[in-house]
Amino acid sequence: MDLTLFDLDNTLIAGDSDFEWAQFLINKGVLDRELYEVRNREFYEQYKAGTLDIDLFLDFQLQPLARHPRHLLDAWHREFMTRHILPIVSGKARALVREHAERGALCVVVTATNSFVTSATIREFGIAHLIATIPAQENGQFTGRPRGTPSFREGKIRRVEDWLEAMGLWWSSFERSWFYSDSQNDLPLLSRVSHPVAVDPDPTLRAHAEASGWPVISLLD
């Protein structure tokens, strides 16, 4: 059996769900445009440049969840999925996931974006397993803080390995391991699997992939 890991943002979907979620809340008037829009774009540019401070970003991203009841957040998220996410899910991405699943691979999405934002998206792909940054909750209400290790850079390796161990598995349990990603931030995990694949990569990842002989593909329709 193979282990197949997928990044989500700008890999399986043609956009960044972290960025889009904040923009969605800004456009609804939930977040103040003057205060949040510039900061949202700054964090996104830092992520793309490989300079993001994950703790500062998570404070920015998760605090709004703590200000609203869960039923209202869930209703907003259903609207967000319809308006922002489903239009950027490509047929090629669906076909790639289906190809690995039909070969019997254990398929997992591994993303830095928090699980509240991403869980409905992975269900759209028919993927049962999600390793994401966890927004902490108390009695069903988000606290505005993360729980455990953020699923970011080297943290993705730790989170994957913790998940494997919890199921009594390890890298050696699989004949092959795959990871598909677009971002230089995922170089640690890409370097850990037996079959790294760069998907519509940023310039830094593209250069590394070409120098290392990794496949470079596009999932854009």
- For residue range 186-211, list pLDDT tens digits in order: 999 999 999 999 999 999 999 999 99
Q: Which SS3 state, helix, strand or coil, does residue 4 take?
A: strand
Q: For this structure, is 7 an active site residue?
A: yes
Strand locations in 8-79 (E): none
Q: Read off the amino acid at residue 185.
A: N
Domain that holds residue 38: 1-221
Give the model confidence (pLDDT) of 151-182 as tens digits. 999 999 999 999 999 999 999 999 999 999 99
Q: What is the pTM of this model?
A: 0.96
Distance, CA of 64 to CA of 56 (rounded, Å): 14
pLDDT of amino acid 140 = 87
Q: For this structure, is 9 an active site residue?
A: yes
Residue percentage of the chain with pLDDT more than 90: 96
For 73, half-sphere exposure in the C-beta direction (CA atoms, 13 angstrom radius) is 16
Give the model confidence (pLDDT) of 66-93 as tens digits. 999 999 999 999 999 999 999 999 999 9
State the pLDDT confidence band at 138, using cuts at 50, 70 and 90.
very high
For the chain, the domain total comes to: 1
> Where residue 122 sits, what CATH number does that domain have?
3.40.50.1000
- The residue from 2, 7, 18, 55 that is catalytic is 7
Length of the chain: 221
pLDDT of amino acid 100 = 98
- The residue from 2, 9, 18, 53 that is catalytic is 9
Question: Quick check: 221 pLDDT over 80?
Answer: no
